[in-house]
Amino acid sequence: MRRLIALLWPYRRSLAGGFLCLMVATPAQLFHPLVWMFVVDEVITKKQINLLLPALAIMFAVHLVGSALNSLRAWILGRAGQRFVADLRTRLHTKLVGQSLSYHHGLRGGELVSRVIGDADVLQEVVINGADSVVANLLSLLWVSGAVIWLQWKVGLITLTPLAVVALLTWFFNSRVKALYRRIRDRLGALSAHVQEHLQGIAVIKAFAQEEFEITHFERHNREYMQESFKGVLARAFYFPSVMSVGFLTNVFMIGLGALFVVRGEFTLGGLIAYRGYWWHLFQPVFALAQTNEMLQRAKASAARVFEVLDATDAIADVPDPVPVRRMEGRVRFERLCFAYRDDAPILQDISFEVEPGQRIGIVGPSGAGKSTILALLLRFFDPQSGTLYLDGHDLRRWRQSDFRRQLAIVGQEPFLFDETILDNIRFGRNESTQEEVEQAARAANAHEFIEQMPEGYATRVGERGVKLSGGQKQRLCIARAFLANPAILLLDEATAAVEPESEMQILAALERLEAGRTTFIVTHKLSLVRDCSRILVVRNQGIAEEGTHRELMELGGWYARMVALQLEGG
């Protein structure tokens, strides 16, 4: 809760303005029972009818002041709430984008979306609206308590006694629901992740006719969330009626004791009328505070999930004094590097090799051997457990990540496009590029012709993950993006594996132009694509099993030579 309060500090001026309005509006809104008392005791009882209209005018004027201040307060705090949730989402998004891939591999995307959207909304509701409600109801409670004690101190003190029972019920409720609401938020996060994952994989679900299975799977997750929610409903069903019942005792005490004191001449009939007017204003804050307390318990569960994101340490961090920014030559050296995604399953063990600027390096080997992992290490998506990776003679960890990644470009097996225009997707390689530069990159990638045939040309939206384009078209846009980035080091990870045959020749021609003059790493299962490489690395058994040119490896007669023969036989 202290950290939630700290989140409000940037909005302190807006909150102070809102609460200042509240401090003046509260007594103005609670003024009218005193006018009722005046009308009964002075106008009716003493027959001073000339005082009626002034009293009513004053009551209405004070009410208007209170209403105007409450409207101003709602506007001020509403704007502060929207700024709060927008800034919090920005912080969460910035944190998630800055995290290493290992962090994202450990959490489902839908779960993270639930925290950025759902949990942030809950916090906005509570931290702004909840704080406003707490202060407003506390002020109302204090003002009304003071008023009923001032009107008749004996009745007032007895009337306030049930509030102690409300405090006890609140403590009991808190002790029961704190862990419960965390489980409910976690179940909701899991449900959101499940829905997102299945919507992304809808084509696979339909292709394998698994709709019924997945519906059943979703119903199970939904039922688990519902069962946890039922427990929350049960807790609220006990808590709120109990608070209302105890709160109603204040009404009983007010009327009963007030009437007794009127009969005994220790209280006026107008005072009893004012008490009746104040009863709801005494009970309503108590009930509202009880509701706010329940909301705070939900907020604490959401806050814990939000702070887990904000507090997560980044395994891949920049050093305080990075290598100065400059154009890379493209020299790469792996020195006795070892890496494992899990401690019990090493992927690469003690690998060493060096690449000169402008060389083309083929990386081949069986599936799962660690070929793509080498590219991931070059991009510093992960850090090795031991050994060192050098770029241009500097330890990769000495470079600022954003600096060296701007000089690398990757074209992968599964081209990823954002649900934006073709222009925006290509320009992702270099945001400040002009339209002319984008078109030049598209021409170099053999993409300009099909783009011009699209309904809106470069302004055509490609749909989520580029669903409106063929595989070959998507890949050519990714190559255009890489052209625009003008990298010193190019990484090709099965760049033609998932494209249709009629697009492959165009893609290969575009890649050949892209590779010119750059250090290039080519990961592939098609060994024909690495025949002309400066050097070929065969990754097997957690290391580099074979190394050399195509001719040298064929003469060696090892794994590479056998695979070339098999692929030739397969046509």
Q: Are the beta carbons of 181 and 300 closer than 8 angstroms?
A: yes
The pLDDT, as a whole number, for residue 429 is 84
Beta bridge partners of 409: 490
Token couple for 236:
């609220």
Best CA proximity match to 173, nearest among 269, 292, 305, 61:
292
Cα(29)–Cα(9) distance, integer angstroms: 29
Best CA proximity match to 330, nearest among 409, 386, 268:
409
Give just the sign of the alpha carbon dihedral 237, 239, 241, 242. positive
User: What is the pTM assigned to this prediction?
Assistant: 0.66
Got the DSSP string for 68-97?
HHHHHHHHHHHHHHHHHHHHHHHHHHHHHH
Cβ-proximal residues to 39 (8 Å cutoff; 6+ apart), any chain: 52, 55, 270
Cα(113)–Cα(109) distance, integer angstroms: 6
Q: Kindly list the averaged pLDDT for each block of 10 residues, start to end, along the chain of length 571.
A: 76 85 83 78 81 86 88 86 83 79 66 75 72 75 78 72 69 67 74 70 62 78 81 72 70 74 78 71 67 68 79 80 87 93 86 93 90 91 91 90 86 81 87 88 87 89 80 85 88 76 77 86 89 92 92 92 83 51
Best CA proximity match to 173, nearest among 298, 5, 281, 3:
298
The pLDDT, as a whole number, for residue 200 is 64
Best CA proximity match to 147, nearest among 32, 224, 244, 52:
32
Cα(144)–Cα(149) distance, integer angstroms: 8
DSSP state of 549: -
The domains of the chain, with CATH numbers, are 2-311 (1.20.1560.10), 332-569 (3.40.50.300)
DSSP state of 356: -
The pLDDT, as a whole number, for residue 539 is 93
The pLDDT, as a whole number, for residue 110 is 63
